[in-house]
Amino acid sequence: MALRLALLGFGNVGQAFARLLLEKRETLQRDYGLTWTVVGIATARHSIACDQAGLDLHRALLAARAGDSLAPFHQGPALSNSLAFIQACDADVLFELTPLNAESGQPAITHMQTGLRKGQHVITANKGPIAFAYRALRDLAKGQERALRFEGTLLDGAPVFSLVSQVLPASRVLGFRGIVNSTTNFILSRMEEGLSMTDALREAQSLGITEADTDYDVDGWDAAVKTAILINVLMGGDVTPSSIQRSGIRAITTRAVMDAVRIDRRFKLLAQATQQGSGVVGMVAPAMLPTTDPLAHLRGTSNALTLITDTMGELTIVESNPGLAQTAYALLSDLIYVAREHHPAGL
């Protein structure tokens, strides 16, 4: 099975995924009979490149690392924007990897709708579209008989959605509790060591783990977006990020964090949801957890999510210090899923 791939967004995640594609090329071919060609890469300020014969991904990565334009790789009439890119680039799978818009999910929702209507499978690490338009995108994908995959939107790629949909049949998720934003956990861990929030945030930025707009991390928007995704996808809810009760970590001082350590407590940004009546209530807020709470021990970029289920009780997924490599892996595992489920004859 040969799949043509288009990458919409070629920043931290897009480039990490490209590196993993190259690294796993032989494994994909040998173990899954899957070969791939990247036929297009689109960015906002570094131009758009399409080539139906396949782009040289090594050279595209070198150009991106040097901050150069991708224009020299382009073949054919110039493409003015991302929608023209989706239409012109004849891809089987569209990867939507543009920045999060935590207020509306756009323009990524339109990117994904355009790709699905064109008959492309869509894989994303962008939380916005899944938080704001999950039902519409899911129904569109179903109508088009295409895949919509988004494992990379949460817990840096740890298999949350696959776990529930594939490994826990006939189970209901009744609620959850967790630490779902790596940046704030990293910042709070560094503040325990005496760093200011500004310096800790700068360090997180240098690791490429923050949102393009870092206020989304610090003010709890990213965690609220993830809470909305979990409620909508796993609990059958219909909420938006703005309906999640939200407060971030901005008001927390290094002194307060260090004082908490002295009394065996840890500041953490907690995301949680519970069923109330016929609805679901989601909340994101800092909490001073006692060290007897397993979540208190998560350090650095680590994430954890406890799912409360009707069949298995509480199940916790812990991911130790994930980074870009894990998000890239989620995209790769989604790609293998697409190949297996939608093109089985080729595998």
Ligand X SMILES: NC(=O)c1ccc[n+]([C@@H]2O[C@H](COP(=O)([O-])OP(=O)(O)OC[C@H]3O[C@@H](n4cnc5c(N)ncnc54)[C@H](OP(=O)(O)O)[C@@H]3O)[C@@H](O)[C@H]2O)c1
**226 assigned to active site:** yes
Q: Which two tokens stand for residue 27?
A: 């494994």
Binding site for ligand X (CB under 6 A): 8-14, 42-46, 82, 97-100, 107, 125-127, 152, 156, 208-209, 211-212, 324, 327
Helix (H) or strand (E) holding 315: strand 313-319
Smallest distance, ligand X to C-beta of residue 227, A? 15
- The nearer residue to ligand X, 299 or 343, going by C-beta atoms, is 299
Smallest distance, ligand X to C-beta of residue 107, A? 5
Rounded to whole angstroms, how far apart are CA atoms 257 and 241?
27
Q: Please pick, among 118, 127, 142, 226, the residue that the annotation labels catalytic.
A: 226
Query: 93-96 and 245-246 as β-strands: parallel, antiparallel, unpaired?
Result: unpaired
- The nearer residue to ligand X, 152 or 241, going by C-beta atoms, is 152
Among residues 53, 23, 26, the alpha carbon closest in space to that of 38 is found at 53
- The nearer residue to ligand X, 107 or 115, going by C-beta atoms, is 107
Q: How many Cβ atoms sit within 10 Å of the Cβ of residue 8?
A: 30
Rounded to whole angstroms, how far apart are CA atoms 9 and 13?
8
Place of tokens 């897009």: 14
Smallest distance, ligand X to C-beta of residue 3, A? 21
Cβ contact 218:201 at 8 Å? yes
**Residue closest to ligand X when measured from CB atoms:** 11
Cβ contact 177:150 at 8 Å? no
Smallest distance, ligand X to C-beta of residue 154, A? 8
CA angle 106, 241, 326 (to 5 degrees): 75
Rounded to whole angstroms, how far apart are CA atoms 115 and 113?
5
Smallest distance, ligand X to C-beta of residue 160, A? 13
- The nearer residue to ligand X, 303 or 309, going by C-beta atoms, is 303
Q: Which two tokens stand for residue 244?
A: 């999640």
Smallest distance, ligand X to C-beta of residue 310, A? 29
Helix and strand tally (H, E) in the chain? 13, 12
Task: Give the largest Cα separation in the chain, rounded.
Answer: 65
Q: How many Cβ atoms sit within 10 Å of the Cβ of residue 255?
A: 10
Looking at the annotation, which residues are catalytic?
226
